[in-house]
Amino acid sequence: MNFLELNSYHNEAFTPRFARDVVPSAQSYVWTFHVESSVKGSRAILEWNPSLFGNNAAQLFCMMLNRMS
């Protein structure tokens, strides 16, 4: 069985792996999450549609920390 998971972690919670996460509106926010998959060698695409949140200039930047040196 193939799977793809995107989780954020909250160690203070009883079940610390969150598949959904909500943060308050802010000028800037750092959201750390982990992606896991059973499929090797595949590529996943994370898309962001800011028009769903009104007329604004919101941007999403992703950094793969495990690939940075």
**pLDDT interval class at 67 (50, 70, 90):** low
Average pLDDT on 37-54 reads: 79
**What number of other Cβ atoms are within 10 A of residue 5's Cβ?**
12
pTM: 0.55
**Measured on CA atoms in the order 11, 4, 68, 63, is the torsion positive or negative?**
negative
Cβ-count burial 40-64 (b if 16+ within 10 Å, e if not): eeeeeeeeeeeeeeeeeeeeeeeee
Please say if the pLDDT value at position 68 is more than 60.
no
Please say if the pLDDT value at position 61 is more than 60.
yes
